[in-house]
Structure 1
Amino acid sequence: MMIQAVLGNPHHPEYGVATIPFPIPHDQCAHCMELLEALEIGDAVKADCQVQEINSFYSVLKRMEMLTVNVEELNYLAKRLDSFDTGEAAQFQAMAHKLELFELKDLINLTFCCQQATVITDFSDLPAVGRDHYMNLHGGSAKTEELDALDGEETARMLIESGSGTITPYGVVYDNGMKLEQVYDGRFFPCYYYEPNAITVAVTSKAEPEDTEHITWLFLPMVQEEIGRALQRAGIADPADVRLRLEDTQLPDEVDVLLDMEQENLADLNVLAQAADALSSDDMKKLGAVVTLAKPQNAEQAKNLVENLDLFDFAPGAHSPAEYGKYMIQRSGHFDYDENLDEFYDYEGYALQRMNEEDGLFTGRGYIAYKGYTSLAEIMDGSQSSHMEMGGMA
């Protein structure tokens, strides 16, 4: 929890208040929205929540108390601040104080540029101050040889003697010519990866041109309340008005290429993301091979395959019968392999015998075989009647 805010209805204080954690955890979203709805506040677009009290490491946010804010903007700001290290936190707070920023739009935009400023909180280590200042002037990075050649102490002294610093409760801040750019326009949040996610989708309205900058970013999987509020904020009421673009995924390439975003819908993409979100890296590789074998046509069929990965045997890296047999005998765990007898194993012969008895395929990722009783088509269509055959690999 980065921020805890006590919110009330500015027009009906008698309704009481709700205490909401920010960023709002996914599993608490519905509950938090219910608390706000009971107070007749919490609109996805309007600023209708009066901040009665705010508690946070970012004490500069206390200036928001008694202001009326939008809950989605406050949630986005909390996500941005949650990623900051100690130095960025000092830069944000000092610049917010220097610029006397109160509005959430301005505070959000500050998170994208405050890193340009230099804040001195400790004057006892001037070489470190000088290095930090040099880094801030160069986009936060510099070559090792540049830093080695830098006279950090002299750089710091020149900065201090410039007299351009402003004393704040968070240190002496030098803005270095920073401009508060309008990265956030007040409606559409910039793309920001707060946490790992399976599928990232850019959502726009079909009423807008295809190259519109009015993009709503969805980081799937999301709970339905989050998706609904995001679309409401985008002004999209009719699902038929949604245009989808696949921006990024953690899924195998074999899944990415099958997704036709002109035919897919958010619901199917979200359940695919939910199913894939818990997969390990090894399971992701297996999924790529499974998709090559099964050839699903859409997100729903891919999701059904994700949920039935245990019906497939996978020998990663096996691209020939000999490699498949070697994997089975040496690494599958089904045999007590003795390396001293390696020359006596007929890896290829064993593999060919297995392959004659199973529905398998060599893929770019290795050998994959389906071990269920029902057809692959039934599995992809959502049949739950298939079972593992005895003797399948773990």
Structure 2
Amino acid sequence: MSYVIQAVLSNPRRPECDQITIPFPIPVDQYDKTVEMLQAIDLGFSVNRDCTVDEVNSRYSVLNTLVGTLVNIDQLDYLAKRLDGFCAGEVSQFQAMAHKLGLSEIKDFINLTYCCQQTTVITDFSDLEQIGKDHTMTLNGGAMPIDQYQAVNGKEAALQLINGGRGVITPYGVAYDNGMKLEPVYNGHQFPVYPYDSLFMVLEITPKRGLAEGKNPEYLYLPTAEHQIERTLLRVGITSPHDAQIRIDCNELPEKVDEALDIEYLSGDDLPALNRMCQAIEPLKKADMEKLNAVVLFAEAGDMMAVRQLAENLDLFDFVPGLQTPEEYGRHMIRESGHFDYDENLEGFYDYRRYGEQQLRQEGGQFNECGYVVYQGTMPLEELMMEDPAEKHQREQGLQMGGLAQ
């Protein structure tokens, strides 16, 4: 099963429209397409609960109580991401407690993912010692010093729990709530921070005018889909990117990229360019990340568009990490590059420094703290780092159209 939840959704206001089946979590590269599919049946334009759940297919069978309720696709997506990280024990805890509490609202299911770990669910009574130890571990927040854990009389703890008479039989095991309370971590509008996919940045989003009463910040995880940016802003009441206040919660950009950009003072207007830059960097392997650091220094990139273009055209640069002098470069070329048949018997006759200096003059390369970099492209480097004219026109047209749709 490649999904956590698969939901069949429909438009309650347009019953004549076809249903749409969506797997969750939605992959980032499928998110925009999914939103546009929903928009084709007059859904997905709003961040309100506008979709009726007609059917649910999931290993979490307790979620079938969502059928007939209204949800927003981002709520289903967030719930699926939360559940995707659950171990077998948490799966039992979530399902048993959801059944015990009789949950049917998406908001409550999301909030349960934050507290079901406080409960004890027994699915097999054959090993009382282990049941008691697991229960004691749960009561201690899921962590104990190993010596204290080993000292627990598991059988005694299990019998005390079972004989206490507070267990509730569910299809998913016997549930003991241990005093758990379903707290509103998720307020039904703004999602609590929860990084899921591989990412470079987590941004906290609030309106410049300040949060309204009862509202929480929203979080944007870059790189992301374009529609996700719009919908994240809307969830916190921002209809124009210019009105967004940005705080960096997590920054995993390559070191020299981070140093080259003044990202401590981001504005909402920077979000599209920042996201596209992160999208360009994301596919790079570790060695290419190191190369990008060197190329950014070499090109003296000073804005997000320049970094993005360098990341997308990294194959136009040659990079040898760690080299700092012409002699080191000459030695690398003669002995390690494969361009020459090196003969160790002639070692004393090689003039590495002179050859390295000659290559530097021919190539126009540069040493920096990362190593040696050469640009092999035919277009002037300054032009390479500029925005594509067609893309610039499209972006300007988009800005002229104004804010975001509610």
TM-score class, shorter: 0.7 to 0.9
CA distance in 1, matches of 2:54, 2:78: 19
Superposed counterparts of 1:3-152, under 5 Å: 3-152=5-154
* 1:361-393 alpha-carbon deviations (Å, 9 max, x no partner): 433332323333444322222589xxxxxxxxx
Superposed counterparts of 1:220-235, under 5 Å: 220-235=222-237
CA distance in 1, matches of 2:29, 2:107: 26
Greater mean alpha carbon deviation, residues 67-76 or residues 362-371: 362-371
CA distance in 1, matches of 2:331, 2:160: 68
Superposition TM-score, scaled by structure 2 size = 0.84
Which secondary structure state, in structure 2, belongs to the residue aligned with residue 265 of structure 1? helix
CA distance in 2, matches of 1:233, 1:34: 18
* 1:292-331 alpha-carbon deviations (Å, 9 max, x no partner): 2222111111111112212222121223444444444444
Matched, 1:240 2:242: yes
Which secondary structure state, in structure 2, belongs to the residue aligned with residue 173 of structure 1? strand
**What is the root-mean-square deviation in Å for CA atoms of aligned residues?**
2.8
Q: Return the offset for 1:112.
A: 1.3
Alignment gaps of 5+ in structure 2: 390-406
Residue of structure 1 equivalent to 2:168: 166
Which secondary structure state, in structure 1, belongs to the residue aligned with residue 365 of structure 2? strand
Q: Alpha carbons of 1:312 and 1:173: their partners in 2 closer, same or farther (altered >3 Å)?
A: same
Which secondary structure state, in structure 2, belongs to the residue aligned with residue 133 of structure 1? helix
The question of whether the paired residues in 1 share the 8 Å contact of 2:107 and 2:188 is answered with: yes
**Counterpart amino acid of residue 367 in structure 2:** F
Residue of structure 2 equivalent to 1:313: 318
CA distance in 2, matches of 1:144, 1:330: 54
Superposed counterparts of 1:357-376, under 5 Å: 357-376=362-381
**Counterpart amino acid of residue 314 in structure 2:** L
Which secondary structure state, in structure 2, belongs to the residue aligned with residue 195 of structure 1? coil
CA distance in 1, matches of 2:15, 2:9: 10
Q: Return the offset for 1:288.
A: 0.9
Q: Alpha carbons of 1:124 and 1:325: their partners in 2 closer, same or farther (altered >3 Å)?
A: farther
Residue of structure 2 equivalent to 1:387: none
Q: Return the offset for 1:279.
A: 0.4
Q: Alpha carbons of 1:100 and 1:286: their partners in 2 closer, same or farther (altered >3 Å)?
A: same
The question of whether the paired residues in 2 share the 8 Å contact of 1:359 and 1:371 is answered with: no
Greater mean alpha carbon deviation, residues 248-257 or residues 6-15: 6-15
CA distance in 2, matches of 1:224, 1:161: 55
CA distance in 1, matches of 2:149, 2:288: 43
Within the candidate set 294, 297, 302, 1:292 is matched to 297
**Counterpart amino acid of residue 9 in structure 1:** N
CA distance in 1, matches of 2:158, 2:334: 65
Q: Return the offset for 1:49.
A: 1.7
Residue of structure 2 equivalent to 1:2: 4
* 1:102-133 alpha-carbon deviations (Å, 9 max, x no partner): 21111111111211212111122233323322
Q: Return the offset for 1:2.
A: 1.3
Q: Return the offset for 1:217.
A: 1.8
Matched, 1:281 2:286: yes
CA distance in 1, matches of 2:388, 2:19: 48
Q: Return the offset for 1:11.
A: 4.1
Q: Alpha carbons of 1:342 and 1:122: their partners in 2 closer, same or farther (altered >3 Å)?
A: farther
The question of whether the paired residues in 2 share the 8 Å contact of 1:113 and 1:178 is answered with: yes
Q: Return the offset for 1:43.
A: 4.6
The question of whether the paired residues in 2 share the 8 Å contact of 1:325 and 1:348 is answered with: yes
Q: Alpha carbons of 1:252 and 1:33: their partners in 2 closer, same or farther (altered >3 Å)?
A: closer
Greater mean alpha carbon deviation, residues 364-373 or residues 89-98: 364-373
* 1:174-206 alpha-carbon deviations (Å, 9 max, x no partner): 222222222212111111111112333332222
Greater mean alpha carbon deviation, residues 143-152 or residues 176-185: 143-152
The question of whether the paired residues in 2 share the 8 Å contact of 1:43 and 1:70 is answered with: no
Residue of structure 2 equivalent to 1:391: none
Q: Alpha carbons of 1:174 and 1:351: their partners in 2 closer, same or farther (altered >3 Å)?
A: farther
Superposed counterparts of 1:186-205, under 5 Å: 186-205=188-207
Q: Alpha carbons of 1:159 and 1:327: their partners in 2 closer, same or farther (altered >3 Å)?
A: farther
**Counterpart amino acid of residue 262 in structure 1:** L
Residue of structure 1 equivalent to 2:396: none
CA distance in 1, matches of 2:55, 2:114: 26
Residue of structure 2 equivalent to 1:262: 266
Question: How many residue pairs align between the two structures?
Answer: 383
Q: Return the offset for 1:254.
A: 1.3
Greater mean alpha carbon deviation, residues 351-360 or residues 330-339: 330-339
Which secondary structure state, in structure 2, belongs to the residue aligned with residue 98 of structure 1? helix
Residue of structure 2 equivalent to 1:184: 186
Matched, 1:355 2:360: yes
CA distance in 2, matches of 1:116, 1:343: 72
